[in-house]
Amino acid sequence: MTYHRGQLRFFGEYAGLNDVAAFARWLAPMRASEWVVYAKRPFAGPKAVPAYLSRYTHRVAISNQRLVALDEHGVTFRWKDYRVDGRTRNKTMTLETDEFTRRFLLHVLPGGFHRIRHYGLLANPSRRANLAKIRELLDGAPASIGRSANDIATVAVWPTFVCRHCGSPMIIIDILQRSRPIRAPPVERAHA
């Protein structure tokens, strides 16, 4: 069990559950309940699941394009009713400002929580070891992809940089040359 291996810890108001007896008392009523886990295949197939999740993992709760109006009546915005097909799918809704703010803040994660977590090769417990092994196996392969022999020789003499966060060497894939100097817009001068 994860708890007995010390992999499940409690903090704050739940810190008392770190005591084995307190945790057992807290867990007892849940063991008496009958837990029924029901999972079914997604209606549109497995490919629909990432499409559904991607709408939420890489975006803000509501984009500016969906905001229609902000006035004394509240906030009006567009939303899509996925239960309906056709022209009536896109709808507008007006909420009082307080209610709109409350619903928006439901999508803000508490401090310390992450919307996206890495699994597999980039999972946090083994990330350094995995990346070191990947770099060893690649042996500088990213620098030579799509380059001629002359370019590869140039890449080999590039300086090496070390990541200030993890201390791993950084691999330079390409250096972008500036086409023109960056400059500020012209300033009008007052004539004396």
Q: Considering the domain boundaries, does residue 22 fall inside one?
A: no
pLDDT in tens, 81-92: 888 888 889 999
Exposure b/e, 89-126, CB count within 10 A at least 16 = b? eeeeeebeeeebeeeeeeeeeeeeeeeeeeeeeeeeee
Number of Cβ atoms within 10 Å of the Cβ of 133: 12
Give me the number of domains the chain comprises: 2
Q: Considering the domain boundaries, does residue 52 fall inside one?
A: no
Are 77 and 92 in contact, with CB atoms under 8 Å apart? yes
pLDDT in tens, 32-81: 888 887 777 777 777 777 777 776 676 778 888 999 999 998 999 999 88
Which among 152, 126, 130, 133 is positioned nearest to 141, based on CA atoms? 152
Q: Considering the domain boundaries, does residue 183 fall inside one?
A: no
Are 75 and 95 in contact, with CB atoms under 8 Å apart? yes
Whole-number pLDDT of residue 112: 74
Which among 113, 172, 117 is positioned nearest to 144, based on CA atoms? 172
pLDDT in tens, 126-160: 888 888 888 888 775 544 444 444 444 444 455 56
Same structural domain for residues 96 and 127? no
Whole-number pLDDT of residue 156: 46
- 68 token code pair: 């229609």
Q: Considering the domain boundaries, does residue 138 fall inside one?
A: yes
- Which residues constitute the domain of residue 95? 60-105
Same structural domain for residues 124 and 151? yes
Q: Considering the domain boundaries, does residue 140 fall inside one?
A: yes
Q: Considering the domain boundaries, does residue 13 fall inside one?
A: no
In one-letter notation, the amino acid at residue 124 is N
Q: Considering the domain boundaries, does residue 165 fall inside one?
A: yes
Residue 104 has pLDDT above 60, yes or no: yes
**Partners of residue 71 on adjacent β-strands:** 74
Domain boundary, last residue among 70, 105, 140: 105
Number of Cβ atoms within 10 Å of the Cβ of 17: 18
Q: Considering the domain boundaries, does residue 177 fall inside one?
A: no
